[in-house]
Each structure stands twice: as C-alpha cells, then as structure tokens.
Amino acid sequence: MSRTALIGNVTAMLEDAGFLVSDRCAVRPKSFDVAARREADLVLLKILGNVDALDAETGAEMRRLGEYLDATPMVVGLRTRDEDLKPGVVYFRHGVPVFNPDTAYELFVEGMPPLIYAAPGGLYVSLDGDLLADEREERGWSLGRLATELGVSRRTVSKYEDGMNASIEVAVQLEDLFEQPFSSPVDVLEGAGDVREAEPTPAAPDADPDDEHVVHVLTSAGFTVHPTARAPFKAVSEDDDGPAMRMLTGHSEFTRAAEKRARIMSSIGQVAHTRSVYFTEETPKRESVDGTALVSCEELADISDPEEIRDLIRDRAETPSEA
C-alpha cells in the first residue's frame, strides 16, 4: 500500500470514529501528517509504511508539539525493517507511541485500548498489582506459593503487586491460574507515559535567525514563543498576559508556498483550538487566509503598545472553535 493510500485510510477511519481531522500537512518540513480531535482528545499523527523512518529529531519535535498544544503524538505504521507490527501491541520510537492500523481501529472506533507494549527484551503488560494481591490473599496463597507457580522469585512477585510490569508470558500464566486477566490497558491517548521511554521532553530548538525580530516583538508583547524545527509553522506562541491565546506562528515573504502554509495552519488551528498568524515581509493585500491572520513586519514595527499587537492579531485571526 502506498503511503498516500495509507494516510487516506487512516484519515477516513478517524472521521468515521467522530474525529475532526485537519488537512494533510503537504509541506516540508513536517513532523506530523494530520491533527485530529474528538472532544478533549487531540492527536498529532504521523503515518508511515516503515516506522523506522521516524528519526530522533522528528520524534523530539512531535513530543514538544504535544506539550505545547496539549496533544498526544502518535505514529500509525505497518512495519519495521524486520517485521510487520503486531496487532494489539504499542511500540515506541523516540518516546512516541506507535501501532498498526488494526490497533488504531480498535482504539479509536471500538474504544478498546491495547494491553501489550513492546520494549527491549520482548512484549510486556501493565499489571493491576492491587487486584493481584487481593486475589492471591483471597486464595490464601503466600508470595512464595505464587512465585513457585510462576517460576519466579518471591521478590519478583512482590514487585508485580507493587506495580512492576510483567512479560506477556507471565500475564498469561496469571490469567490461567486465577481465571481472570490482570492486565491494565496502555493509555495511548495520554501518551502512554507509564510505559514509554523515561526521558524528559527534548529542549526546544533556537529560533531561526531570520525570525528573531518577530520573536522579539511577540516576546515584548507578552507572548512566550516556542520555536519549532519540523512543523508547518515556525513557532507556537502563548499569550502570558490576560486571557490565554495560543497561536500557530509563521513568518516569511508571502509567496504561493507561504499562502499554502497559511491555509494548512488555519486547518490545524481549527482542530487544535488555536489561532494562527503569518507575519509577512511585505504588506499583504488582505488581512487573512482562511482564518490565518496576515500581519506585515512593517505593521509590527509601527506598534509600540503590546496590547495593540495582541488586539491586531485577535481582530484578524479566526477565533478557535471550542468543543
């Protein structure tokens, strides 16, 4: 299956599941292909045939954007270099959860989150340790008795009951012994934080030197500016003074490519509930593109009052939808 067809299939599946899906990010650089929202759940999806194509820089960017936009970064793919992705299993690449389209269908359409995740050494599950301890004690089994049944040490059983994850083989043994499952779902929509790689969100890149003037003006106007490296926009900016206003921020000469980027920013903003603004090097002939505000750097230079800058952006940018 071609990547274009795969993206189309995943997008159609999300729409069938009740998600509002953005236009495809058909520009470069891009760290994700589409944004999708259903009620409070916002996801940033990268869709790949071979998930090994997700490099460390893109993974870092997806995680940063997830933090800036209150979203969950995800990858839907078909295979690695060595094998097809198994259904019902969450994999991880650079801290981003990865799964195949069947698993995505079960999660988004059927509401069935996966129970198994892949980590170095094999496949694992998260155990409900309290339930395991209760069932063991109800049977009158000691830690040693259960350890013997499982072929592990008493210390290992104690760790299982304290919340340590177990191999899928141990989970199957426990289910056979007690005739009930002890596995807890992997909360993919929260970024699978309990089982993903234990590493902090990577630091943001420095702003492009060409954007330093815009960053300075926005910062002076009370915005916190988070530069991006591989997104359809140059930064995510947040208003620190007064009512919160988060916006996708672009900057360049206003070419056809810039207009296309502004349209994509608008589509993403409608899904992510953000405004979007594109700063241009020349005075634009209009005030917005599909809801993305157009503001010239000359206009910025003529405004000294930070509140006027915020009002200008508010007036021209389409107000984000609220679910």
Residue 105 is predicted with a pLDDT of: 96
Task: Give the CATH number of domain 209-316.
Answer: 3.40.91.30
What pLDDT shows up at residue 192?
Answer: 53
pLDDT above 80: residue 212: yes
C-beta separation of 166 from 160 below 8 A: yes
More confident residue, 17 or 201: 17
Taking residues 123-129, report their average pLDDT. Answer: 90
Q: Given a cut of 80, is residue 199 above it in pLDDT?
A: no
The pLDDT of 249-253, averaged and rounded, is 93
Ranges in the chain annotated CATH 3.40.91.30: 209-316
The better pLDDT of the pair 300, 319 is held by 300
| Cβ atoms 294, 287 nearer than 8 A | yes
* Euclidean distance between CA atoms 130 and 285, whole angstroms: 64
Instruction: Tell me the per-residue pLDDT of 73-123, one tens digit each, with 9 for 90 and over.
Output: 999 999 998 899 999 999 989 989 999 999 999 999 999 999 999 888 889
Task: Using a pLDDT cut of 90, give the percent of the chain over it.
Answer: 60
Give the pLDDT score at 110.
Answer: 94
| Residue 152 confidence (pLDDT) | 92
What pLDDT score does 81 carry?
87
**In DSSP terms, which residues pair with 98 in a beta bridge?**
75, 91
Q: Do 259 and 280 form a contact (C-beta atoms < 8 A)?
A: no
Between 226 and 314, the more confident residue is 226
Give the per-residue pLDDT at 321. 63
Alpha carbon distance 160, 153 (integer Å): 11
| Residue-level pLDDT at 195 | 46
Q: In the chain, which residues fall in CATH 3.40.1350?
A: 3-114
95 and 59 Cβ atoms separated by less than 8 Å? yes
Q: Where in the chain is the domain with CATH 1.10.260.40?
A: 123-184
User: Mean pLDDT lowest for which of 17-26, 35-44, 216-225?
Assistant: 216-225
Amino acid at 18: G
Higher pLDDT, 252 or 189: 252
Average pLDDT of the chain, as a whole number: 89
Mean of pLDDT values over 24-47 = 92
Two tokens, residue 211: 């954007």
Contact 36, 20 (CB under 8 A): yes
Whether pLDDT at 242 is above 70 = no
Read off the pLDDT of each residue in 150-162 and give the average, rounded to a whole number.
92
CATH class of 123-184: mainly alpha
- Domain 3-114's class? alpha beta
d(CA 124, CA 170): 9
Strands in 292-296's sheet, in edge-to-edge order, are: 223-227, 235-239, 246-252, 275-280, 292-296, 288-289
Q: Name the 3-class secondary structure at 304.
A: coil
The predicted pLDDT at position 33 comes to 96
Whole-number Cα distances in Å, 176 to 17, 129, 151, 225, 315: 34, 16, 14, 54, 63
**pLDDT (0 to 100) of residue 198:** 52
| Tokens encoding 3 | 């990547």
Q: How confident is the model at residue 277 (pLDDT cuts 50, 70, 90)?
A: very high
Please compute the mean of the pLDDT values over residues 271-292 and round it to a whole number. Answer: 90
pTM: 0.87
User: Does residue 23 carry a pLDDT above 90?
Assistant: yes
Within 8 A by CB and 6+ apart from 180, the residues are 135
The Cα–Cα gap between 249 and 225 comes to: 9
The two three-digit tokens of residue 116, written as one number: 């198994």
- Residue 114, C-beta contacts closer than 8 angstroms, at least 6 positions apart: 88, 89, 90, 99, 103, 106, 107, 185, 186, 188
Both tokens assigned to 131: 């339930």
Reading the block at residue 80, the tokens are 């690695």
Overall average pLDDT of the 278-287 stretch: 87
247 or 319, greater pLDDT: 247
H runs (alpha helix) in 82-128: 101-108
| Residue 323 binned pLDDT confidence (cut-offs 50, 70, 90) | very low
Q: Which three-class secondary structure state does DSSP give residue 188?
A: helix
